[in-house]
Each structure stands twice: as C-alpha cells, then as structure tokens.
Chains A and B, each alone.
Chain A
C-alpha cells in the first residue's frame, strides 16, 4: 500500500489528484499551479513539496519584529500569512500538524515571545528527525510553562509532562503504566526555566534510580526520551497520527503497521517517511480522497489559494478563531478534536458567512474573479470554471444540477454556493 502510485489511462494524475496533493501537503493551490503539476507528472509534483525555498534569514528578521510587539494575535496573523503566502508548503503544513500534536496554549503560557520560539522550533524541525523534535519540545520554554515542568523538582515530582509525553506526544494510551509516568517524571526533575530559557537545575534533579518500561537505572530526561522514541509503540503512534492527518481520519491497523515500519526504516525521520507516504498508492487512493473534514484554517486557506488570492492575514486568523480554531490557543493539551467536531450548525453558518464576505460582501480580498477564473461566458461555462477552481473539477451530476439556478445569478453567488456545499467542507 505504500508502494509508489502508478498513474495510468484509467486513473491518471489529473486535476483531481493534483488538488488532493495540494490540499493535503499544502493549503491548496491555484488552478494554474495544479495544471502545471499535472503537466510535470506526479514524481516532480510530490518532490516539489520537499524543496525548501524559504529565505530563512528574512523569516527570522520578520519573526523578531513580530515578537517585539508582544501580541499573540500578531503572531497568529503572521503564521496565517506564512501559510497563505509561504513557498515551503509542506513545511507550513507540518508546522500546523505539530502545533496540533504538541498543543500548547498561550492562554496559560501568557508569553507571545515563548510561543513564537516554540513555533519556530516546530517549523525548523517539522520535516526532520522526530527524536530531535521531541528533545527540543521537551526543553521548550513554552512547553515547560504549559505543562508545569518548572515545578517538577526532586522530592516533589510534577507528573504533567511525563504523562503527556507518553499519552499525547510519543506513545499513546495503553502502552505504558502509571509507574512509568511517576518514574519518568523524576527523570525530568530540574528541567526548568531561567530568564525565559531552558535551564537544567542540578540541585532540583533527582539522580536516583528509576524503573521505566521495565528498565532500571539512574535515568535522566534524555534517557527517557531515547527509550520512548525507540519503542515500537511510538512508531505506531506517530504513524497513526500521520496517516490520520494525510490519508484518512481512521487508518486501519495494516496501514499503521506499514507506515510504522517505513518510519523505523527511515530512522524516525519525518521528511523521509512523508516522501514515501505522499507518493504512495494509499495517499492517492479513493479511500483517502475527500475523507477528511477541513479545519477552519484549511477552509479559509484552501479557498484563497485556489483562487490565487490574498487577504489580510489578521482578518483571516480572526475568522478561523470565530469558526473554532484559535491557533496558539488550543482548547486543551489534546489539541483540537477536529474532523466532525469542526462542523456544527453554528460553524457551518460561519463558513457560509466567510465565503459570502469573500465573494459578495466587499471584503478587502475582493478577488478579481475574472482574472482568477478567466472570462467564462454562459451558465455552463461559469459553472465549469467555478467547480474546476474550487472543487478540483470534481462534482457529481446532482451537485451540478443543484448549482444551475445559482449560476444564472452570476459567478460570485455561484462561488459562494459552491463553498457551502458538502464537497467544499472536505479535504
């Protein structure tokens, strides 16, 4: 199932497949970009997602300007802007993924500077070794504040971080014991903050013998991290999360086993694992196609990128917040439940209102649809263009018939109608 997908005359790499790739590995792409991908072929299209094009230095400078303002909304808007405009689409996508994985909220951290530092670490390690990423996150000042490791001291261990490390970050429920948590927490004693930076406080560290996963020794935090990532459960846990994000919200055990093996073979390197996954039969399978519900961030960004448009990132990030996704302020350490939880009568209405604002409400974005969609004439042509741009050209006959009346009212009402269809809520 992880074998490279081979397109053929019956199952070509067409706009639909290119749209699927762009939606999952990035945040959508314009029709022109998707057409170019189709021309280049699937190998080159997938490889392009791994080519880094970012100007790292200028990004650091901009982030410093954001940090200087000490406002979490500025950081949120900046991140949205990167997701909307950034060229490193997969890196942006994976930063978003890891934020949901290592969900940390400024609501408790209360320090945009630390949140920016964590965001940068996620971005820097998004496609690298999971071992490195986990180590960086364990020492991350925002994480230390978020999970109270600052108060984890010898004699009075605070188990918060050790518990979430096993349950949410690296292993998953049912793969460890309460004793493992208690002992691991002792290993992380003294991993604290000083002046807003990670500091190993020797006097607060418990150097005694600990037994974790049945192995005894005077383990330190590094040892616990190493022992954790090397467990097969960890590989299956990470594989399951990657599959749920890139392929299907409910991966099968066989799929998990296959990707876990690939992940282990790649020495837990995320980029190498994704290179296999994004090129695989599984990724391009019908099972994967439109199997996920767009998050608010997906909904907003895929819409804008599909039209090659831009908008005020500040407004966009606020719109996502209204729809239930306040980046940098997840509801809990478990992050967002996502999928069906994204849609309710209230949030669907908010999505509709957002699309209305974009197409009919005089929003700053006010896309020049004649430029984005060309100049289609006649209801059928207008309908074809809208479906091609916004739904990868993939809408069944009943769906098209339901749009006929709206098409008669013009391109803008039609685009709004398309964006409130069930198909437009799926990724």
Chain B
C-alpha cells in the first residue's frame, strides 16, 4: 500500500496512520493547561479531553530547544556561528519568523505603552537578540545536497551585510539591542507613519547605525529606550504614548487594529463589498468575520520542528455568509492519495450559495450566478442547483496530485492532476446527471476544436465512468500542454470524481476504496513541501524561462530563485492553513512542519 499523507487532525480512522497520530488538532491552550505545564509559549490546543496528550507533547517538544540565554550576558561576547553555511538559514527564515519566551514582561509593557492609541498595527518581540539566535537554531543546518549556487549565496549575503554594517549582523544586533522591540504603524495626516521603540544596549552604536542608514528619520533616546519614527509627528506621538494598557501574548505578537484602520484609512466600505461571487464562496465567511472584527491578533509560536501562527478574530456572527457553511462541525474527508501536492477542503455548500444567492451575493453577483445557472442547466439537461447539487453531500474536496514524470515524448509542461471529489447522496440520479453533463461538455469542446481545425477528442468508457482521450500527436516537436490532460469522470458508488487526468482520478478512486479518511473541521488548505518541490523541479526550465520573461531576471538569478524555493519546500513536510469557522470567535492557524 502506498504511503499516505498524514491526517489533518490526529483522528484518522485508519489504524496504520502513524504519521497522523502524532498530530494534534490546533486550537487554543486553556488556562488550566498553561498552569499545569507552566507553559511559557502559547501553544495552540483545542481543549477537548481526548486531545490533551497531543497538546502536552507539543509543549514538551517546544521545550526541547536549547535553553534560552540571558541577552544581557551576551554583550560583545556572543558565541560565533559554528559555520558560515548556517547563516543561509537567515535568508530562509525570513519566511519563518519565530519567537522566544519573554525575558522581561515589564520592559515590553513599557515599550507597548509608547505606542499611541491610534496605532493601526503593531508587532512586539520580547527579546530581539535571543529571537535571532533561536531563529538560526530553528532553521537547522544547510542541507548537504543544496545546489552549489545556493550554498554560494550565504558568503555573498554575509559579505553584503558586513560591507553595509561594517561587522557581521549578529555583532551589530548584540551591540545595539538589549531585548524587547516594538514596531508600529501609527495613523498620521498623510498616511500611516512607521514607528519603533526598542531598549538599546549601546546608545552610541545605535546612534551611529541610525546616522549611517536612516539619517533623515526622527529619533530620541529616553531612559535607555530608542524612539524612532519616520518623522517628527510620529516621534511626538511616541513621546506622548498610549492612554491605555495593551494585552500582550508572549512570543512575536502582531496586532492589527481594524477599527482604527477603518476610521483612518477606510471609506466605509466593507472588505466583502469588493469580492465577486466565486470569491465570496471561497473566502466570504472569512472576510465577513474580518468585517465584524475590531482587531486581529497574531501570535507566532516556534518549536523544534514546527511553526505555528495563530490569529484570532470575531466569528461570522449573524452574517448571511454563515449560511454558506455546509457542516459547521467536525467532518471526515477522503485521505490524500500518495503523491498529493496539496488539498483544499472548505466547509462550504454550493447549494446554499445558489439557494441564498440574493442574501449572500451582491446584486451584480446574483445576476452573474443566475446566468451561470442558466448555462449549466442547458449543459446538464437538469437544474444544476435543485437537481444536481441537491443530490450531493457537500462539501466537496479538491486535491492536486503529482502523478510522477511523464514520458519523454510527452508535453514539455508536466502538470499534476487536479481532482475534485464529491460525496453522493442520491448516487444513481447524480451519476445520470453528471454523465449527461460530461457528454454535453465534451460535445461543445469538440465543436470548438473542429472550428479551429484540430482533431477530435475521443470519449472512452471506463469501468466506472468515462475518460477523454486526445488524438495521437503527429507534430514535429513535443505535443502541446493539453496533451497532458485526459479529463475523467469516475464513480465509486459513494463518490463522484472529476479529474484533469485519468490516472489522477484512478488514484483518488483507489484511496476512496481503501476507505481511509481524515478528520477535520472548518476550512483546511494543505501543501506538502517535498511533493510540491518535485513538481517544481520537473518543470524547472519552463518556470525559469517564465520568470525571466515576467520578472526581467537574468537566467542565473531566475534559476537560483527556483532552486532556493525547492530547497525550502524540501525542508517543509507540510504547511496547513486552517480556519475554524463556527462559533463566536474565529481561529486562524498556519501550521508549518519541518521534515
């Protein structure tokens, strides 16, 4: 049996799902948990008894990081990095910001008090030098098999930094920063003003760096704290400070004040107003929650091989968009077949969208939806919403599956398979409508091909459905990309599978036959790093060429971009973005796991 991807939660119904068994469902640590463990980091854990062990494991794994060092003792004698290559991690880890437990809450509170009440957003780090150190530790060493040109980036970057700062980055960091740092965007008359407050170790060093790199910025030193702003107005606001205390979650905490943003920058329009019908279906409930939120708080939590980003916002509340939710609670979805690059499962009902279109869509969007329905009805020979969707058990799930390298005579672009899976309610009736619709579409496509002088496609019956075959390619060069497709519609009794390739549909059917499922709730978007890297690697030349044309990069730089990207992806086992939609509060969690 091929290896499957891990389940999203730890509740796989498959007994051999060992990888998934160690995965906690992300949630929020209860106060009790924190007291029990004395947790310094915010660990995200749903407070359901069956998952407590997973959460505690997660906390413990976070503790296995090397002990935090007191930044005061570092001074100018911080330990050197063991090898230059490790510093490439700095580049990669700009993508993966992490944090460390707070050293001194009072110091950070003091800095947060500096930010005025009309701050649109702020970010706080409790210990910058230690943060940087931990950053390097979390990324780990440069992989041995990294391409030479990627390895060569590190000394180049280091030289650049050294040339700019006159010393290595870590030297400058430890020389200047004493610990906590707060960065903010403050509403000003002419737009947001960036401001910063930071405890400094060496005022003279800080002053020299400021004069060298941002001489026009306004700054002041008050009681060992650097106040820095783009202009005098911002500096004055920093001096005056806030009238109220701020809540701070340990770690790297980012706070976006949506109320201030709307007041200062908005024109009264809600975010949802700008989204078309398709967008409303995909992200509408999320955007509605943002529209209802006063603020968003994002906390970034590191552990040894995992990075969690957790944001909190208001829930959907009584927004009509809440009607789009198909389940609203826990559900199971088919396990991802071997080779899956990514999957998306949204707790959404298309039937509800069409049923409630006058409520959930704008007036213009409802017109678009109705015109779509009239076309879809014609193709299907039945009502798309009341006949077809009513016979499905939503939500549907979308998978991208890498089917391995094609043959050497195939198209130059090697696409993965795109697969849509729907559970059937009335299987017989739904199959009949879908088969008829598939034939209608096939007929239309062939008419269009005929008009363009292209050879006709063939519709081949399969054991459990139909698949489209392209005619033999007789051109001189490689066939066009469309020859990588063999759209298929398969039925497994309980499910309908629509895929861009027959092999992709068959892989999904095999997975369904094994009856392996993943448990989840809300919206889930998951990407598997090594599998995605394989697809990138296989299409390296074409991606590189397109980057040259689209970004204006030199061939070497464009090639390096994808090599670095592939290297990073190969280090990431999976990245999962989950949004728990139900309830008064919405939790947004990005969970990135290293291999």
Contact = CB atoms under 8 A, between A and B. Distances in A.
Interface string A358-375: 000000110000000000
B545 A364 contact: no
B547 to A, nearest CB: 9
A110 B554 contact: no
Contacts of A108: none
Interface string B551-578: 1101000000000000000000000000
B552 A197 contact: no
Contact of A69 (B474, B481, B554): B481
A65 B481 contact: no
B412 A312 contact: no
13 contacts: A64-B477, A65-B412, A65-B413, A66-B545, A68-B481, A69-B542, A77-B549, A113-B480, A197-B475, A311-B552, A313-B552, A314-B549, A364-B551
A312 B551 CA distance: 5
Nearest to A65: B542
A245 interface: no
A197 B478 CA distance: 14
Contacts of A314: 549-550
A61 B541 contact: yes
Given A69-B481, A195-B475, A196-B475, A64 B412 contact: yes
Contacts of B477: 64, 67
A68 B411 CA distance: 7
Contacts of B478: 64, 67-68
Interface in B186-226: none
Interface in A60-91: 61-62, 64-70, 74, 77-78, 81
A81 B412 contact: no
Contacts of A68: 411-413, 478, 480-481, 542
A195 B474 CA distance: 7
A211 interface: no
Given A70-B482, A312-B549, A65 B554 contact: no
Contacts of A310: 552, 554
Interface string B467-499: 000000011111011100000000000000000
A65 B543 CA distance: 9
A315 interface: yes
Interface in B18-37: none
Given A78-B549, A113-B480, A364-B552, A65 B541 contact: yes
A197 B474 CA distance: 10
Interface of A: 61-62, 64-70, 74, 77-78, 81, 110-111, 113, 193, 195-197, 310-315, 364-365
Contact of A365 (B412, B413, B481, B552): B552
A195 B476 CA distance: 10
Chain B binding surface, main DSSP class: loop
B408 interface: no
Contacts of A110: 452
B contact residues, range: 20 to 34
B350 interface: no
B433 interface: no
A110 B454 CA distance: 12
A69 B552 contact: no
The listed residue with most B CB atoms (<10 A of its CB), out of A68, A74, A81, A113, is A68
A79 B482 CA distance: 23
Interface string B345-383: 000000000000000000000000000000000000000
B292 interface: no
B97 interface: no
Contacts of A193: 453
Nearest to B541: A65
Interface in B425-482: 452-453, 455, 474-478, 480-482
B450 to A, nearest CB: 13
B275 interface: no
A172 B8 CA distance: 72
A68 to B, nearest CB: 4
Contacts of A196: 475
B283 interface: no
Contact of A81 (B452, B455, B475, B549): B549
Chain A binding surface, main DSSP class: helix
Nearest to A312: B552
B474 A313 contact: no
In the complex, the 9 A-B pairs of residues with the closest C-beta atoms, listed nearest first: A312-B552, A68-B412, A77-B549, A311-B552, A65-B542, A313-B549, A314-B549, A195-B474, A314-B550
Contacts of B549: 74, 77-78, 81, 312-314
A290 B223 CA distance: 67
B481 A70 contact: yes
Given A74-B546, A311-B552, A313-B552, 13 more contacts: A61-B541, A62-B545, A65-B413, A67-B477, A68-B413, A68-B478, A68-B542, A69-B413, A69-B481, A70-B480, A70-B482, A314-B549, A365-B552
Interface in B116-141: none
B153 interface: no
B548 interface: yes
The listed residue with most A CB atoms (<10 A of its CB), out of B411, B413, B477, B554, is B477
Contacts of B480: 67-68, 70, 113
The listed residue with most B CB atoms (<10 A of its CB), out of A64, A65, A81, A365, is A65
A67 to B, nearest CB: 6
A110 B448 CA distance: 13
Contacts of A64: 412, 477-478
A198 B132 CA distance: 65
A67 B481 CA distance: 9
Nearest to B555: A85
A364 B477 CA distance: 34
B448 to A, nearest CB: 12
Nearest to B413: A68
A150 B548 CA distance: 37
A422 B90 CA distance: 50
Contacts of A197: 475-476
A144 B328 CA distance: 60
Contacts of A365: 552
The listed residue with most B CB atoms (<10 A of its CB), out of A197, A314, A365, is A314
Contacts of A77: 549-550
A335 B62 CA distance: 68
Nearest to A60: B477
B531 to A, nearest CB: 22
Contacts of B481: 68-70
Given A64-B412, A195-B474, A195-B475, A81 B482 contact: no
Contacts of B475: 113, 195-197
Contacts of B474: 195
Contacts of A62: 545
B56 to A, nearest CB: 50
A65 B453 CA distance: 23
A70 B413 CA distance: 11
Contacts of A69: 413, 481, 542, 546
B541 A312 contact: no
A358 B476 CA distance: 41
Contacts of B413: 65, 68-69
A81 B550 CA distance: 10
Contact of B545 (A65, A111, A195): A65
A195 B473 CA distance: 9
Contacts of B453: 193
B552 A315 contact: yes
Given A68-B478, A70-B482, A195-B475, A312 B542 contact: no
A315 B453 CA distance: 32
Contacts of A312: 549-552
Nearest to A80: B549
Contacts of B545: 62, 65-66, 78
Nearest to B477: A64
A203 B554 CA distance: 52
Nearest to B474: A195
Contacts of B550: 77, 312, 314
Contacts of A61: 541
